[in-house]
C-alpha cells in the first residue's frame, strides 16, 4: 500500500519527473500546430481558386475573402485556425521545461489565436460598389494576430534554449520572430495603408509573411513537440 502511495505522489500534471516528457495527450495539441496552418492555407487558397474571377490574391489580403456572399467560409476558417492555434500554444507550454516567466511566450501565441477568433467576429465587408472595408474591429484583430505571433516566437525562443530537448532549434523561432516583426512594421508603413508605395502588392506581402515565415516555424515547433511527447530522441 505504501508503494502505491509513493507512485501516485510522484505523478504531476506537467512534465513527468521520471520520464522527462509531457503527458501523452500533448501529442494531440502538437498536431493542432501542424494541421492548423496547413488547413488554413489550403482553405484560403481553395477559395481564391473558386473566386478567381472576382478575387486577386496579389492585391487583396486573406481577410478580404470574408467580404461578399461566400465570406462565411473564411470566417469559419479563422475560427478553426484560432482554436487550433490556442491548442498549439497550450501544448507548447506543457511540452517545455518550466522557467521563470516562461508562460509569457506561449501566452502570446495563445493571444494570436484570440486574434484569429476576433478576425472572424469582426469580418471585413463589401459595399454596394464592391469595395472591401472594415466596419470596425478587424484591423485590431489583425494587429493582435501578427504582433503576438512575432513577439511570441521571439520570447519563446529563450525558453527553448534552456531545454535540452529543444535547444538545437531555439534560434529558428528567434529569427522567424524577428523577420515577422520587421515585416509586420514594414507592411504597416509601406504596404497596407491606402496610397502606400507597395499597396498594390498587399496580398502577396501578407501571404509571404504568413506562409513563408510564420507557418513553417509553427510546424517545426509542433513536430518537435510530437517527438518530445512521444519520448523519441531528437537530432
For residue 1, is it within any domain? no
Give dist(CA 176, CA 150) in Å, integer. 7
Higher pLDDT among residues 20 and 173, named by residue = 173
* 3-state SS, one letter per residue, for the chain: CHHHHHHHHCCCCCCCCCCCCCCCCHHHHHHHHHHHHHHHHHHHHHHHHHCCCCCCCCCCCHHHHHCCCCHHHHHHHHHHHHHHHHHHHHHHHHHCCCCCCCCHHHHHHHHHHHHHHHHHHCCCEECCCCCEECCCCHHHHHHHHHHHHHHHHHHHHHHHHCCCCCHHHCHHHHHHHHHHHHHHHHHHHHCCCCCCCCHHHHHHHHHHHHHHHHHHHHHHHHHHHHHHHHCCCCC
Considering its fold, how many domains does the chain have in total?
1
Mean pLDDT across 134-148: 96
pLDDT score recorded for residue 234: 62
Q: How confident is the model at residue 128 (pLDDT cuts 50, 70, 90)?
A: confident
Cell triple for residue 46? Answer: 481553395
For residue 212, is it within any domain? yes
For residue 5, is it within any domain? no
Q: Which of 14-23, 136-145, 181-190 has the lowest mean pLDDT?
A: 14-23
pTM for this model (two decimals):
0.89
Q: How many residues does the chain have?
A: 235
Range of 176's domain? 22-230
Q: How confident is the model at residue 233 (pLDDT cuts 50, 70, 90)?
A: low
Whether the CB-CB separation of 120 and 144 falls below 8 Å is answered with no
Cell triple for residue 181? Answer: 516583426
Mean pLDDT across 38-54: 96
Higher pLDDT among residues 232 and 31, named by residue = 31
For residue 15, is it within any domain? no
In this predicted structure, the answer to whether residue 202 has a pLDDT above a threshold of 80 is yes
126's CB contacts (< 8 A; 6+ apart) are 67, 68, 71, 132, 133
Whether the CB-CB separation of 135 and 125 falls below 8 Å is answered with yes
Between CA 219 and CA 24, with CA 98 as vertex, the angle to 5 degrees is 55
For residue 7, is it within any domain? no
Give dist(CA 110, CA 84) in Å, integer. 10
For residue 161, is it within any domain? yes
Q: For residue range 69-97, list pLDDT tens digits in order.
A: 899 999 999 999 999 999 999 999 999 99
For residue 11, is it within any domain? no
Torsion angles phi and psi, residue 133, rounded to 5: -145, 165
Whether the CB-CB separation of 4 and 53 falls below 8 Å is answered with no
Q: For residue range 59-71, list pLDDT tens digits in order.
A: 999 999 999 889 9
For residue 86, is it within any domain? yes
Give dist(CA 64, CA 6) in Å, integer. 58
Amino acid at each position: 500500500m505504501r508503494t502505491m502511495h509513493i507512485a501516485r505522489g510522484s505523478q504531476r500534471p506537467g512534465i513527468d519527473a521520471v520520464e522527462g516528457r509531457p503527458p501523452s495527450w500533448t501529442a494531440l495539441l502538437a498536431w493542432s500546430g501542424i494541421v492548423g496552418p496547413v488547413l488554413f492555407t489550403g482553405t484560403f487558397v481553395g477559395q481564391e481558386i473558386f473566386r478567381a474571377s472576382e478575387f486577386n490574391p496579389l492585391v487583396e489580403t486573406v481577410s478580404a475573402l470574408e467580404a461578399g456572399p461566400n465570406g462565411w467560409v473564411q470566417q469559419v476558417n479563422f475560427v478553426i485556425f484560432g482554436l487550433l492555434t490556442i491548442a498549439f500554444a497550450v501544448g507548447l507550454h506543457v511540452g517545455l521545461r518550466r522557467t521563470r516567466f516562461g508562460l509569457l511566450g506561449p501566452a502570446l501565441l495563445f493571444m494570436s489565436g484570440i486574434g484569429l477568433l476576433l478576425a472572424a467576429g469582426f469580418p471585413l465587408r463589401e459595399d454596394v460598389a464592391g469595395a472591401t472595408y472594415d466596419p470596425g474591429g478587424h484591423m485590431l484583430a489583425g494587429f493582435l494576430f501578427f504582433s503576438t505571433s512575432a513577439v511570441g516566437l521571439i520570447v519563446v525562443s529563450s525558453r527553448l534554449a534552456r531545454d535540452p530537448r529543444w535547444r538545437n532549434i531555439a534560434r529558428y523561432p528567434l529569427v522567424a520572430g524577428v523577420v515577422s516583426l520587421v515585416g509586420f512594421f514594414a507592411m504597416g508603413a509601406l504596404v497596407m495603408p491606402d496610397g502606400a508605395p507597395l499597396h498594390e502588392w498587399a496580398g502577396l506581402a501578407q501571404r509571404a509573411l504568413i506562409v513563408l515565415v510564420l507557418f513553417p516555424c509553427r510546424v517545426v515547433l509542433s513536430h518537435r513537440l510530437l517527438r518530445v511527447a512521444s519520448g523519441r530522441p531528437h537530432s
